[in-house]
């Protein structure tokens, strides 16, 4: 029997140890993950959309050089949070320690420097990161929604100047998949601070009121992190499921301008839910979407979250996939903007067109998605001869006042000629 070298022996020991550590129920193992590393194949679409530019939350980007300036502000916010709560650090730390393993397992890939079973003291380092970043996030949310105002007037982050110049950059960072904190951290901190008086929706309302000036009252339910809260808020609409769905014809969906040419009217849906897309009586209803600086980053991270966290569904992905067909060129964006469906804050229709094409890259749609049924209904309507004829008539004779006047004149002359012919025939008979 050949002798094993030291490298082979070490590898055998490593494999045997790994076998001992393998979870007996892999379903539970994967179920706990909710914060994922984004692969290069995805980040290559737009690196800035996935890499925080001003502040890190959690372990993945902690300590990066361009984010270190915010660490001192985190410590200030942490101390201010403790002072306002009137409680020492111990109860907060102990509350998080109770769920430390759950917090660790929320992360897809966590280095040994953060794991309790890894390097000595790693567990305490991880808890310290969770509590400081968690307090900072809560202070940001509260300051942005004017729930707290006990910072000095010249505070560079939490007062007027910070609201104008810093906060707009923090919000996109809070929506990045790699930059999430488990919602359990915020829940535990608030529970200790308020002695359990705040309900489950308190943090959800803080998050939604930060990203929108409109006060939110709808109940979102339990969420995994900030990105999950935003995703669920975009889908708040119970859409009835169609009797049947099928893939046939989905790829034949026409652009907005082509739909108009085929006699279909477009209008804004009654809600802003991305799932509120319907077709009835020749009218295609689409939800309003605001396109601004943070839109690309937000949607790319939502799409990536749906891709890796399979239990969420793929409603956001399907919406972007669908809109990529509706928006084929600049004319489509202009049309949708005039109808109030695409509120283009960017101001450049070409840029918005390219944005939807970029976001839709590498997206797909599930076979049983309800949008397929909507698209099939639209295509059936477009393919009916009467609808085609009526659309051609409208496009040919009613697109401009001159074409309409020419049609009226032709009808008038035809009527005169008919009357003259009838009069001549009657005169001949008499």
pLDDT digits (tens, 9 = 90+) for 120-177: 456 689 999 999 999 999 999 999 888 888 888 888 888 777 777 788 889 999 999 9
**Helices then strands (H, E): number in the chain?**
20, 5
Instruction: Report whether pLDDT(8) > 80.
Output: no
Give which of 146, 226, 236 is closest to 185, Cα–Cα. Answer: 226
> What Å distances lie between residue 8 and 3, 13, 21, 188, CA to CA?
10, 9, 20, 46
Give which of 61, 263, 348 is closest to 181, Cα–Cα. Answer: 61
Q: What pLDDT is attached to residue 401?
A: 59
Segment 80-89, tens digit of pLDDT: 999 999 999 9
Average pLDDT taken over every residue of the chain: 84
Q: In the beta sheet, which residues pair with residue 266? A: 284
392 versus 246: the higher-pLDDT residue is 392
Ranges 13-22, 96-105, 281-290: which has the least confidence: 13-22
The answer to whether residues 112 and 122 touch, using CB atoms and an 8 Å cutoff, is yes
Instruction: Report whether pLDDT(248) > 90.
Output: no
Q: What pLDDT is attached to residue 419?
A: 76
Q: What pLDDT is attached to residue 208?
A: 92
CA–CA distance, 28 with 247 (Å, rounded to integer): 33
Give which of 55, 80, 82 is closest to 189, Cα–Cα. Answer: 82
Over residues 107-114, mean pLDDT: 87
> What Å distances lie between residue 358 and 42, 277, 318, 346, CA to CA?
11, 22, 14, 16
Does residue 263 come out as left (phi exceeding 0), alpha (psi in the -120 to 50 range) or beta?
left
CA–CA distance, 381 with 277 (Å, rounded to integer): 16
The answer to whether residues 248 and 383 touch, using CB atoms and an 8 Å cutoff, is no
Per-residue pLDDT band for 252 (boundaries 50, 70, 90) equals low
Per-residue pLDDT band for 242 (boundaries 50, 70, 90) equals low
Over residues 311-322, mean pLDDT: 92
Query: Which pair of structure tokens corresponds to residue 222?
Result: 């339990």
Segment 188-208, tens digit of pLDDT: 999 999 998 988 899 999 999
Distance separating the N- and C-terminal Cα atoms of the chain: 127
Over residues 343-348, mean pLDDT: 86
CA–CA distance, 97 with 367 (Å, rounded to integer): 43
DSSP-derived secondary structure letter, 145: T
Over residues 51-68, mean pLDDT: 95
Name residues whose C-beta falls within 8 Å of residue 372's C-beta, 6 or more positions apart in sequence: 245, 246, 247, 250, 365
Segment 267-316, tens digit of pLDDT: 999 999 999 999 998 999 999 999 998 999 999 999 999 999 988 889 99
Residue given tokens 């102990």 in the structure block: 94
Per-residue pLDDT band for 75 (boundaries 50, 70, 90) equals very high
Q: What is the pTM for the complete model shown?
A: 0.84
Q: What pLDDT is attached to residue 94?
A: 96
Q: What pLDDT is attached to residue 249?
A: 43
Q: What pLDDT is attached to residue 412?
A: 65
């Amino acid at each position: 029997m050949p002798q094993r070298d030291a490298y082979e022996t070490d590898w055998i020991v490593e494999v045997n140890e790994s076998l001992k550590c393998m979870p007996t129920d892999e379903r539970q193992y994967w179920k706990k993950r909710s914060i994922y590393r984004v692969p290069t194949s995805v980040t290559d679409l737009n690196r800035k959309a996935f890499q925080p530019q001003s502040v890190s939350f959690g372990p993945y980007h902690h300590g990066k050089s361009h984010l270190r300036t915010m660490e001192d502000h985190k410590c200030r916010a942490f101390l201010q949070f403790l002072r306002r709560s009137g409680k020492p650090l111990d109860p907060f730390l102990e509350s998080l320690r109770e769920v430390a393993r759950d917090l660790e397992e929320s992360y897809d890939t966590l280095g040994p420097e953060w794991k309790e079973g890894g390097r000595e003291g790693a567990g305490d380092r991880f808890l310290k990161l969770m509590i400081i970043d968690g307090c900072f996030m809560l202070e940001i949310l509260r300051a942005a929604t004017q729930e707290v105002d006990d910072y000095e007037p010249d505070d560079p982050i939490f007062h007027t100047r910070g609201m104008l110049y810093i906060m707009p950059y923090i919000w996109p960072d809070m929506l990045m998949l790699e930059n999430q904190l488990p919602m359990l951290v915020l829940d535990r901190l608030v529970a200790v601070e308020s002695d359990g008086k705040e309900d489950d929706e308190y943090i959800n309302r803080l998050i939604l009121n930060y990203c929108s000036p409109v006060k939110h009252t709808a109940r979102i339910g339990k969420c995994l992190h900030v990105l999950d809260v935003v995703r669920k808020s975009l889908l708040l609409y119970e859409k009835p499921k169609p009797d049947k769905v099928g893939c046939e014809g989905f790829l034949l969906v026409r652009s907005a301008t082509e739909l108009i040419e085929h006699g279909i009217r477009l209008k804004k849906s009654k809600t802003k839910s991305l799932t509120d897309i319907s077709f009835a009586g020749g009218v295609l209803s689409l939800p309003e979407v605001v396109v601004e600086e943070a839109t690309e980053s937000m949607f790319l991270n939502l799409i990536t979250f749906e891709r890796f966290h399979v239990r969420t569904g793929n409603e956001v992905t399907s919406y972007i996939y669908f809109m990529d067909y509706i928006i084929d060129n600049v004319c489509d964006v202009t049309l949708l903007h005039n109808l109030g469906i695409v509120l283009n804050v960017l101001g450049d229709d070409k840029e918005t067109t390219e944005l939807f094409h970029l976001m839709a890259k590498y997206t797909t749609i599930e076979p049983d998605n309800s949008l397929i049924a909507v698209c099939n209904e639209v295509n059936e309507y477009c393919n009916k001869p009467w609808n085609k004829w009526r659309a051609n008539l409208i496009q040919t004779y009613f697109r401009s006042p001159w074409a309409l006047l020419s049609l009226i004149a032709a009808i008038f002359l035809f009527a005169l000629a008919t009357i003259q012919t009838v009069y001549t025939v009657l005169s001949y008979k008499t």
